[in-house]
């Protein structure tokens, strides 16, 4: 019994291992406080957790942004957004013609095999610019818009991810610790559900706080700039455009005008709350099992590996399960009709997607979404936990 307690004090990162260890801890008189004593980061403040989470979000947003762009383009196209050559519009071509115009600038995409004479834009079929899958989106964005466009919306992604995750993960830790302590003292059978409830509550709080930036990011990724040489709008310009578009329709109530900045938040919550619940209820048992295999020999590398592996699996499963809700969120966010923006609901949107595209429509972009979510959750959780581990070790030795 003394050996078990000593191991836990030497390796406090094994937070809440298996039932056998918990039963042995109860035998030495700790009883229902086992969960509380096993939490490695109870001494860390909210600020330290937030800094750890913000660093993790920064790293993840830069790495996985291209997959987010691809997913959004596929979902926007399915919703009816027309993608075409920027010079396919006669006014754009007239404005573009000049002494510096090169014939090559007017050619179709090289991936198009149905181009007209000399591949000129005027004779280029519309489907030449339609996306046919994940790899096709990558190829056409790079060829038609440039490699840097794969990081379109990264500034909005960073502006969103840093505060969102800075709120989300610390609140999750605090809520989980509190729920586990409360459940272990009153209803021990509910203790395994603490991560599920904590994840759902923390995500709801983070989502409601930072939602307008999420709206801007989705719009920035979904819409192409149709005028050659024009700089794409940034976060603030995108949000101001949304508000001015609604105000220009004669909406008298200022609250109604600003409410449009939270368009689709219902769909966002309908996606993110189940995502968080599925993710954390899957992640916690996996990483505790992996850390339990390491025992008292846990170090920064093993913490990194266990959390990344658990996060990758949990993120991938949660992303696949909630893909229909993600499609509904995207469709609501890119809606340009102010009347529909204020009247659309998640239920109506899902029914509309089902009517238009069936099961395939509901899972549009599932490939890049899963490909993005798995590494993203793995990176965020592992980076966050490693920083907490290092801080905990520093405080333990100081």
Look up the pTM and report it.
Answer: 0.67
Q: Report how far Cα 360 is from the mean position of its chain's Cα atoms.
A: 21
Q: Name the residue range of residue 292's domain.
A: 2-83+130-397
Please tell me the number of Cα atoms within 13 Å of 342 on its side-chain side: 16
Tokens of residue 73, six digits? 């383009």
Tokens of residue 63, six digits? 């790495």
Cα–Cα nearest to 3, from 25, 23, 20, 19: 25
What stretches of the chain show up as alpha helix (H) in DSSP?
Answer: 2-10, 19-27, 34-38, 46-78, 90-96, 134-145, 154-186, 194-222, 235-247, 254-259, 265-294, 300-321, 323-333, 338-343, 346-362, 366-397
Q: Is the domain of 60 the same as that of 123?
A: no
Q: Which helix (H) or strand (E) holds 31?
A: none
Helix (H, G, I), strand (E, B) or coil at 86: coil
Phi, psi of 120 (to 5 degrees): -70, 155
Residue 42 in contact with residue 295, Cβ under 8 Å? Answer: no
Q: Is the domain of 23 the same as that of 108?
A: no
Residues forming a β-bridge with 120? 107
CATH of the domain at 247: 1.50.40.10
In tens digits, the chain (398 residues) has pLDDT values of 444 444 443 344 444 334 333 333 333 332 333 333 333 455 667 777 777 777 877 888 788 888 888 888 888 888 777 766 555 554 444 444 444 444 444 445 555 655 554 444 445 566 677 788 888 888 888 877 788 888 877 777 777 777 777 888 889 989 999 999 999 999 999 988 999 999 999 999 988 888 888 888 777 777 765 555 566 666 777 777 777 765 555 544 555 556 777 777 887 888 888 999 999 999 999 999 999 888 777 788 999 999 999 999 999 999 999 999 999 888 887 877 777 777 778 888 899 999 988 999 999 999 999 998 999 999 989 998 898 888 888 887 87
Q: Is the domain of 63 the same as that of 106?
A: no
Q: Is the domain of 276 the same as that of 244?
A: yes
Residue 50 in contact with residue 305, Cβ under 8 Å? Answer: no
Q: Is the domain of 223 the same as that of 349?
A: yes
Q: Angle of helix 265-294 relative to helix 194-222, nearest 10 degrees?
A: 130
Q: Is the domain of 91 the same as that of 72?
A: no
Q: Is the domain of 229 the same as that of 270?
A: yes
């Amino acid at each position: 019994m003394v050996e078990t307690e000593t191991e836990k004090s030497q390796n406090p990162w094994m937070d809440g291992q298996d039932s056998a260890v918990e039963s042995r801890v109860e035998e030495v008189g700790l009883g229902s406080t086992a969960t509380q004593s096993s939490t490695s980061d109870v001494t860390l403040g909210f600020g330290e957790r937030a800094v750890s989470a913000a660093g993790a979000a920064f790293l993840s947003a830069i790495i996985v942004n291209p997959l987010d762009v691809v997913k959004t383009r596929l979902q926007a196209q399915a919703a009816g957004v027309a993608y075409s050559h920027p010079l396919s519009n006669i006014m754009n071509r007239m404005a573009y013609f000049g002494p510096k115009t090169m014939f090559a600038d007017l050619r179709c995409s090289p991936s198009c095999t149905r181009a007209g004479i000399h591949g000129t834009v005027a004779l280029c079929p519309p489907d030449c610019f339609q996306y046919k899958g994940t790899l096709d989106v990558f190829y056409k964005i790079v060829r038609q818009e440039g490699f840097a466009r794969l990081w379109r919306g990264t500034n909005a992604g960073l502006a969103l991810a840093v505060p969102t995750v800075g709120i989300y993960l610390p609140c999750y830790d605090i809520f989980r610790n509190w729920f586990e302590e409360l459940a272990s003292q009153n209803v021990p059978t509910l203790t395994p559900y603490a991560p599920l409830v904590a994840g759902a509550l923390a995500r709801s709080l983070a989502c409601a706080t930072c939602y307008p930036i999420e709206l801007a990011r989705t719009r920035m990724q979904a819409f192409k700039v149709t005028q050659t040489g024009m700089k794409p709008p940034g976060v603030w310009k995108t949000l101001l455009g949304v508000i001015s578009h609604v105000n220009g329709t004669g909406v008298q109530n200022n609250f109604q005008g600003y409410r449009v900045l939270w368009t689709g938040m219902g769909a966002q919550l309908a996606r993110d709350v189940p995502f968080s619940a599925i993710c954390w209820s899957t992640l916690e048992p996996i990483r505790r099992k992996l850390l339990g295999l390491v025992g008292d020999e846990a170090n920064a590398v093993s913490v990194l590996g266990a959390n990344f592996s658990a996060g990758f699996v949990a993120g991938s499963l949660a992303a696949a399960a909630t893909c229909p809700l993600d499609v509904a969120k995207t469709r609501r966010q890119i809606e340009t009709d102010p009347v529909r923006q204020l009247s659309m609901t998640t239920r109506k949107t899902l029914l509309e997607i089902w009517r238009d595209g069936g099961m395939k429509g509901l899972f549009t972009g599932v490939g890049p979404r899963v490909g993005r979510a798995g590494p993203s959750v793995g990176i965020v959780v592992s980076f966050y936990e490693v920083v907490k581990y290092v801080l905990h070790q520093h405080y333990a030795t100081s």
